[in-house]
Amino acid sequence: MSPARPVVCCDLDGVVWRGADPIPGAGQAIEQLRAAGLRVGFVSNNSSQPLGEVTAKLAAAGIPASAEDVVTSALAAAALLASDLQPGAPVLACAGPGVVEALTAAGLRAVDRPPAAGVVVGMHRDFDFDELDRASAAVRGGAHFVATNLDPTYPVPGGMIPGSGAIVAAVATAGGRVPEVAGKPERPMVDLVRKRLGPTGVVVGDRPSTDGAFASALGWPFALVLTGVTRPAPPSGGESIPNPPPPFVAADLATLAPTLLDAVVRR
């Protein structure tokens, strides 16, 4: 029996889209990879959206996908907490609806204020002082403190916006504790991707500090695209191409796809 072909684990923000705008050629590139017999999974540190919204956004970009194809840091955070807390335990979700959905699916109870046995901090745009007060109070009270991820920014059309890491930093400072991190490149996401997508693959992403480190943690090759936060001359708040560079570097996913096919399918 021939070995299974590797799965292509593709990041979303900065690879498939920037904000609401699909990146040109990304949908056709994924179709090309699938046509060659490769499974494409979508592995994102952005925890803000429920899985149905992620798959709907993929469909709008011309990329059919099911919830089984998508792994987010919200799922990793919920799995981490479910392994530690009792079923039905209250978890303060200082995060978006994607985290609330993941906590509920994992058998936990999402709340918005103490008392709480756990606290999850993730990306959401309505974070304010009152929420910082509630979340940090729960952290100081001893709740299991989990960050979905520490990405400081997310790429959007025209630049970048603050990411989950910026919100986590505020809660950690006020709470006086360092969180356990669930998303890329940490172990909870590594374990979840191996379980849901397979034992071998390649990681495609735009951020070496998370996507590249995630590939290293998996023991898989890293393919860097330059449509997100990384540039040869990095923008403020962005990243530069590592030296030495990863095995694959391409301007965008459309340029990368034929190179991946040569390396994986036609080798």
Known catalytic residues are: 11, 13
Determine the Cα–Cα distance for residues 225 and 187; give it in Å rounded to an integer.
Answer: 24
- HSE on the CB side for 183, CA within 13 Å? 28
CB-based contact 46:123 (threshold 8 Å) = yes
Mind giving me the DSSP string for 25-59?
THHHHHHHHHHTT--EEEEES--SS-HHHHHHHHH
Q: What gap in Å lies between CA 208 and CA 189, rounded to an integer?
A: 16
Segments of 123-247 assigned E as strands: 144-147, 153-156, 159-162, 180-181, 201-205, 222-225, 230-231, 239-240
What is the DSSP secondary-structure string of 56-76? Answer: HHHHHTT----GGGEEEHHHH
Beta-carbon contacts of 135 under 8 Å, excluding residues fewer than 6 positions away, are 92, 94, 119, 121, 171, 175
The rounded distance, in Å, linking the Cα atoms of 163 and 151 is 6
Instruction: Let me know: does 121 contact 171? Beta carbons within 8 Å.
Output: yes
In one letter, which amino acid is 205?
A: G
